[in-house]
Amino acid sequence: MKTAKTKTVSQPKKTASARKIPKSKKTPAGKYVPTEDEIREKAMEIYYERIARGEHGTPEDDWREAEELLRG
């Protein structure tokens, strides 16, 4: 008597593009917490505006300003 071989089907691995991006959330105190992507986009906007005005600064300053603006 032959036994039937069963094929095991493996689940596809999750890639970076398949991962869910966390949404912005509020803390228990109700304060808005922006995601890293939101902060990054705002920092880039601040950077381009700063460069257009011919002002000096650093990426870290742009990041901190973006965090402050988004968190309120």
What is the structure's pLDDT at 31?
A: 78
User: Which residues make Cβ contacts (< 8 Å) with residue 50, sequence separation at least 6?
Assistant: 57, 62
Q: CA-based angle 54:34:48, to the nearest 5?
A: 15
What is the structure's pLDDT at 5?
A: 63
- Tell me the pairing of strands 25-26 and 32-33: antiparallel
Cα distances (Å, whole numbers) of residue 64 to 12, 15, 27, 50, 67: 39, 30, 20, 14, 5
How does pLDDT run across 15-62, given as a tens digit for each residue?
A: 554 555 556 566 667 778 999 999 999 999 999 999 999 999 999 999
Nearest to 72 by CA among 37, 18, 29: 29
> Hey, where are the domains in the chain?
27-71
